[in-house]
Structure 1
């Protein structure tokens, strides 16, 4: 059995390294600040595996042995599931040389990239859908960006950045974290080479996800603020949508760092931008709009560890207004996270089930959904039964 005092010292060290207070860490795993304090002081025995995994995910610990001092158990082996198509996509990402063949003109390439993004949003198994086309699309976009010239080259670079964004989404929460960084970095480089402010703003949005996931909230904020400064939101349209999304990214960073006032000021700016675009507006592939802002408000309240407000927003959100299976599923997972923070286990498992019906792949590859399902599968009664069924559906064992 792991020594409680040694475990508590390690937990405290990782918590302080991540810059999280006891109330924030407790809230993120559905427990109180006093519970965290008791663990750190050795007054409680280390928790069971599902909770250890949730702590490790929140604190960005890759091997559970670093926290427990026990035998090695890579956190990703439980919380991250590799997609069957991952090897072909990884191989395409790692290829240094441009494959032979003729480049595609920018408008043709744009149509192919639009089709790939439509697959991502319209499928209930979005990773399976895009895994078929991503390797070839990466090769086409790289070839066109390298071999075309002038305006055609710049437009191809913008499309190349969009392909890398899609690759980043596909690769997220899988056993290739270094390729997620690579996709974000290459997308930013392509957008900068195109010298297009709107492309740079979107690249910043996706790069910021990687920074926040590595507990680098300040770096994410600076990147998004610099990108937003390149835009002119008064022009409306794409400029306004991408400026609003940058504000949303800034809000997410502040909420993860526990800065409520700054988070909500940035969210207000994003929501105002979305409302100017129209009450039913949704960007065709970024999905920014009023419904997205409403969904991310649940994320913000949950990250700020305010369960009452998080549940209130989750229960009033109009998820059907999000025209994307994967975005609806992700929003429902965040709603489940809000309810579990408020001890609402029945509602949480119901929402995870709804998320699964929206997108099998999103739930199967979401670390929180996996660890929460594993934890709830140990509960007695209906909650435990439903959680065990869900665990089977997403390929994990309690």
Structure 2
């Protein structure tokens, strides 16, 4: 029998490997964070274990920065495919065909009027924000809605065409939301670009503001530079008047977009300065106000403060915000589920697995498809199912399987 020389050395964690890799190349946390578009607190969270394995694109960026392989950072920790791959909705092929099919000859049917198209788009927004499988319901409408708004925009002229283009921009917003967190990033960019083009062709500051809000989401998810996101939002906001309720709501929404962009890269002072502007706009609109499809209002502004604290790696402050939130003031099942996921993320940053799973279960009961297609939920649930405290493993495994995630 071989001679024993004491216990085997403990396997290094990802956090320990990340700290060692940064030390090896001689980078401080502020410098490392700045080079990957994150705050020093985020780097600290990675190295303390408060933040788990980041998504694969960020792992690749960290490995390049630290001059090592991804495997040097992850060690023997397995990266579950389900954690890093986006799940495809059954309606994706039909929506993709609708976006990539070009009608080069006029159709025989008369186009629907702008009034009819706006009513159909409005109904689709109600389904998006409603209870149940919102993605599935909207996916069933999108192919015809995209085709009909396109046909009308090519047929009409003058005022009717501009009004139709506004409806078309909103149809593209819905397509962009449907495509988000699915394996079709090129289509998300395509729909964002088309919505902005339609809004500009309509010469509508309101439509341009809506397009800028959704493009801002895409840029943040793609880790584009904050300055580009901020410039787009501020240009769109400059077109709006603040003495008109509809335009004030969109102006406030764009202030919130800038706040979220700065929080994402750890620039807390600027983030909260713009959040204050959004909060002031919500206050001027009234405590009960909520935009019918953008959902901007008091409840939305307050709830996004939770996301900002999470991005700034301030889970304690995030949970203080969560304790004061009344999500019933957010008139959207999808939004409420998203904010519940953000509450779960705050508890996860503190290593509180029981609360994390409980909130994800609540989010699922609020809007199943919001959780199923949320990347944070897809990362954390399989991990908790494998390595979480014994008291939460079974619940995490059950929820992950219900949502179609491999565990």
TM bracket (short chain):
0.7 to 0.9
Pairing partner for 2:273 from 257, 261, 265: 265
Change (3 A) 1:266 1:182: same
Q: Give the distance between the partners of 1:228 and 1:15, measured in 2 at CA.
A: 29
User: CA distance change for structure 1 residues 295 and 79 in 2, over 3 Å: closer, same or farther?
Assistant: farther
Q: Which residue of 2 aligns with 1:20?
A: 38
Q: 1:21 to 1:273 in 2, by over 3 A?
A: closer
Larger radius of gyration: 2
Q: CA deviation at 1:34?
A: 4.9
Q: CA offsets per residue over residues 227-257 of structure 1, 9 Å max, x none?
A: 0000011x23111000000000000001001
The answer for the alignment partner of 2:208 in structure 1 is 200
Q: What aligned pairs does 1:285-296 form with structure 2 within 5 A after superposition? A: 285-296=293-304
For residues 88-135 of structure 1, what are the alpha-carbon distances to aligned partners after superposition, in whole Å with 9 as ceiling and x for unaligned? 001111123267232111111000000111111113211111111000
Aligned twin of 1:389: 398
CA distance in 2, matches of 1:96, 1:155: 22
* Alignment size in residue pairs: 379
**Residue in structure 2 matched with residue 367 of structure 1 by the alignment:** 375
Provide the rounded CA distance (Å) in 1 between the counterparts of 2:254 and 2:130. Answer: 24
Tell me what 1:43 maps to.
Answer: none
| Corresponding residue to 1:94 among 76, 96, 100 | 100
Q: Work out whether residues 55 and 84 of structure 2, in 8 Å CA contact, stay in contact via their aligned partners in 1.
A: no
**In structure 2, which of residues 221, 228, 234 is the aligned counterpart of residue 219 of structure 1?**
228
8 A contact 1:363–1:369 mirrored in 2: yes
* TM-score, structure 1 normalization: 0.87
- Aligned-pair CA distance for 1:390: 0.9
Structure 1 unaligned blocks of 5 or more:
37-49
2:338 aligns with 330
Deviations 1:127-146 (A, max 9, x none): 11111100000001111111
Specify whether residues 153 and 22 from structure 1 end up closer, same or farther in structure 2 by C-alpha distance, changes over 3 A only.
same
Deviation at 1:16, TM superposition (A): 5.9
* Alpha-carbon contact 2:95-2:143 (below 8 Å) kept: yes
CA RMSD of aligned residues (A): 3.1
Deviations 1:16-63 (CA, angstroms, capped at 9, x unpaired): 652224521453xxx4x4569xxxxxxxxxxxxx944x34265687x9
Question: Is 1:177 the counterpart of 2:172 in the alignment?
Answer: no
Deviations 1:161-189 (A, max 9, x none): 00000000000000101000001000000
Q: Distance in 2 between matches of 1:60 and 1:213?
A: 16
5+ long unaligned stretches in structure 2: 1-10
Give the corresponding residue for 1:161: 169
Q: Which residue of 2 aligns with 1:186?
A: 194
Segment drifting more, 379-388 vs 296-305? 379-388
Instruction: Choose the corresponding residue for 2:286, options 272, 278, 289.
Output: 278
Q: In 2, are the aligned partners of 1:336 and 1:347 still within 8 Å (CA)?
A: yes
Q: Secondary structure in 2 aligned to 1:262? A: helix
Q: Is the 8 A contact 2:59 2:70 kept in 1?
A: no
- The answer for the alignment partner of 1:81 in structure 2 is 87
- Aligned residue number for residue 56 of structure 1: 56
Give the corresponding residue for 2:5.
Answer: none
TM-score (norm 2): 0.85
Higher alpha-carbon deviation: 364-373 or 17-26:
17-26
